[in-house]
Amino acid sequence: MPRIVFTPSGLVGDVAPGASVLDAARELGVDLDSVCGGRGICGRCQVEFHPGSYPKWAMEIDDTALSSWTDTEQTYSDRKGLKPDRRLGCCAIVQRDLVVDVPAESQVHRPVVRKSLDLTDVLLDPNVHIAYIELPPSVLGDAESMTDLVVNELRTRMQMPVTHLTLPVLQQVHQAFSNIDRAATVAVRGDAVVAVWPGFVDRIVGAAIDIGSTTIAGHLCDLATGEVLSSAGRMNPQIRFGEDLMSRVSYVMMNPGGDRNLTVAVREALQELIDQLCTDAGVAADTVLEIVLVGNPIMHHIVAGIDPTPLGQAPFTLATAEALEMDAAAIELPFRNAQVYLAPCIAGHVGADTAAVILSEGPHRSPTMQLLVDVGTNAEIVVGDEHRQFAASSPTGPAFEGAQLSCGQRATAGAIERVRIDAATLDARFKVIGSDLWSDEPGFAESTADLDISGICGSGIIEVIGEMYLAGIIDQDGVVQGSLAERSSRIVENGRTFSYLVHEADGVRLTITQNDVRAIQLAKAALRAGIELLFRHAGVTGVDDIRLAGAFGSHIDPVYALVLGLVPDCPVEHVRSVGNAAGGGAVRALLSVAARREMEAAVRGVEKIETATEPTFQAEFVAAMAFPHAIAPSPHLSTVVTLPERTAPTSEGGRPGRRRRNRGADDAATAEGEPS
């Protein structure tokens, strides 16, 4: 029987002979939509099919893996259109081993891209301006060219220091000024006319995009007013090549041409995202004149078409740390008038997204020491003030976003995002994305009737682990206390360890296992160890200004960030979420040339710390495995919550016994050498 793999979910299973992709998705519980019942009418079950090599699953996929194109698909394509790499899941029959991708728009529970924008006090200083000009009537015998006429008009009437027209403009200039008024609108960047439109055009736009390893989020802005016209996001399609950055680099290393596959995937996603932003804002694509891109070093290199493999092995050398400017066509973006600004990187593990965070939050402008943490698949950390700044990256992995956990999922409708546990009864109540009610409130069942409560997203994972610690379900070492099974049926024996049952309904059991707790401990220990190392280099023991950024960081409750020890102890009110600071910095760079220069200067002064080579990293890592921390006190947190008393060492199963070996010591060695 053929075997099928669905991405990005990673669900794998055998397929019965004659089964369609939709049948297989239903059998395996894959989130693939269908409204018409598989009759090829609604088009909701579209999947993407990319023949090729998939070493992760030891599969070589060719065109014969799916049945031939059907008349039903042709009819739908003629009626509504179907992309070349798309098939209707209800029509495509699985014939051989297969890997297919379920795009976001085909999922019942479409990812909720929750990267907010915090944008204040931007001084508008765009890189391009427009001017509406009218040329004098042409007279036989005049020797002036169209370039002479346009340049003269712009210099004399508009005081713009223009010297020439670019080739694309020369190819359009006669047609643009062919109307009876000989009037057109031109766009000027520096000393060149870079775009021209017949008649009067009063709006030009630019896109600022944060290319995350999981999510790509963008904003479309009016370059004349600074107004944010539309915002949108989508999952990074590179996920089908690897869940995290290093698996994608490994894909490139193991597959000739793999770097090109990754580059094409992200460039196509950028094109689709910008098209969506334009559609949502009601503007034409040819009015997009500036595109600012930020991302981690690997995303930075891949989108530019630069080999990312040197970033996957020591000494993690960047091809360039400088900002890059190029025509959109140079990176295969079909926006004929647009120029791309790819923001500067800081180091092999600290990229242009961190540069944008620095620009947005301004540690280099701050009179007091500031801690910035961009929490994601890889955590970037910045500590500094107006005199000095230090930066590092910690290999947290995807656990914070719910990946690789037994009940983890991305932030989609129906995902549990808030959790509270009663310390006396050990019962849990929760909130899900898509409902404003807690699970113990009247009307909750009705408000979530159309939602599939099938997992816990990142913010919910952080809260449930924090609540388990506060309720005594896990001790400071993260061991689930099996002795509590006598008090509550929610403590469930799971082989040699125990799990905590968060929710059970309709055959779905959502539990936090001992391995889940360990995964969060490893992630938070890597992050906290990086912070402590930067503190040591900065010569400080703590700060009173902690800012959590990123798609995940912006949804962490500061109290639980302190309970878990993600960040050092300080007054709770001094820990705050700043939303998608990388996106905010990208918008600033889009709207202001001065901001670009500020960012470029700021990152040149940052001191880069490589955690993998720090001799004290392992000790910091092991100490950070405990909740909140094995050594550092928590006086400020103690004023907000009642922290459990330290208990005697326990066995792994949570029953008193001889002191178990600290697993963090074993895992620290791996994390210490793991590139991010």
Ordered DSSP codes for 326-344:
EEGGGGT---TT-EEEEPP
How many C-beta atoms surround the C-beta of residue 450 within 10 A?
10
Q: Alpha-carbon distance 96 to 654, whole Å?
A: 47
pTM (global) more than 0.85: no
Q: Alpha-carbon distance 188 to 124, whole Å?
A: 16
Quick one: 350 and 215 in the same domain? yes
Q: Alpha-carbon distance 328 to 201, whole Å?
A: 21
- Residue 38 is classified by DSSP as S
Q: Which of 39, 72, 106 is the last residue of a domain?
A: 106
pLDDT digits (tens, 9 = 90+) for 346-405: 988 899 999 999 999 999 999 999 999 988 777 899 999 999 999 998 877 666 766 678
- Tell me if 162 is assigned to some domain: yes
Quick one: 481 and 625 in the same domain? no
Quick one: 165 and 218 in the same domain? no
Quick one: 625 and 582 in the same domain? yes
**Residue ranges making up the domain that contains 169:** 129-198
Quick one: 524 and 383 in the same domain? yes
Q: Alpha-carbon distance 38 to 21, whole Å?
A: 10
User: Measuring CA to CA, how many Å separate 199 from each of 129, 156, 224, 367?
Assistant: 16, 20, 18, 50
pLDDT at 200: 85
Q: Alpha-carbon distance 232 to 236, whole Å?
A: 13
Q: Which of 159, 174, 198 is the last residue of a domain?
A: 198
Q: Alpha-carbon distance 30 to 153, whole Å?
A: 61
Q: What sections of 158-244 are H helices per DSSP? A: 167-170, 173-176
Q: Alpha-carbon distance 368 to 355, whole Å?
A: 19
Q: Which amino acid is at 262?
A: L
pLDDT digits (tens, 9 = 90+) for 546-567: 999 876 777 889 999 999 999 9
- The CATH number assigned to the domain holding 192 equals 3.10.20
Q: Which residues of 628-638 are buried (b: 16+ CB within 10 A; e: fewer)?
A: bbbebebebbe
Q: Which amino acid is at 467?
A: E
- Residue 67 is classified by DSSP as P
Quick one: 349 and 368 in the same domain? no
Number of independent structural domains in the chain: 5
Q: Which amino acid is at 517?
A: V
- Tell me if 254 is assigned to some domain: yes
- Tell me if 189 is assigned to some domain: yes
Residue 170: closest CA among 136, 195, 149, 204: 195
- Tell me if 214 is assigned to some domain: yes
Pairing between strand 86-88 and 389-394? unpaired
The residue written with tokens 């990812």 in the block is 111
Query: Exposed, middle or buried: residue 402 (CB in 10 Å: 0-12, 13-18, 19+)?
Result: buried
Q: Which of 511, 528, 547 is the last residue of a domain?
A: 511
Residue 257's contacts (CB-CB under 8 Å, 6 or more residues apart) are none
- Tell me if 115 is assigned to some domain: no
CA 208 to chain centre: 14
Quick one: 308 and 216 in the same domain? yes
Residue 377: closest CA among 345, 344, 342, 349: 349
Q: Is 660 left (phi over 0), alpha (psi -120 to 50) or beta?
A: beta
Residues forming a β-bridge with 219: 208, 231
Quick one: 279 and 298 in the same domain? yes
Q: Alpha-carbon distance 487 to 143, whole Å?
A: 96
Quick one: 437 and 487 in the same domain? yes
Quick one: 318 and 295 in the same domain? yes
- The CATH number assigned to the domain holding 298 equals 3.30.420.480
Which regions of the chain are under pLDDT 50?
A: 112-115, 651, 655-676
Quick one: 178 and 308 in the same domain? no
- Tell me if 372 is assigned to some domain: yes
Residues forming a β-bridge with 324: 342
Q: Alpha-carbon distance 34 to 26, whole Å?
A: 10
Query: Exposed, middle or buried: residue 38 (CB in 10 Å: 0-12, 13-18, 19+)?
Result: middle
Residue 561: closest CA among 533, 518, 534, 523: 523
| Contact assessment for residue 328 and residue 287, using Cβ atoms and an 8 Å cutoff | no
pLDDT at 110: 56
Quick one: 17 and 150 in the same domain? no
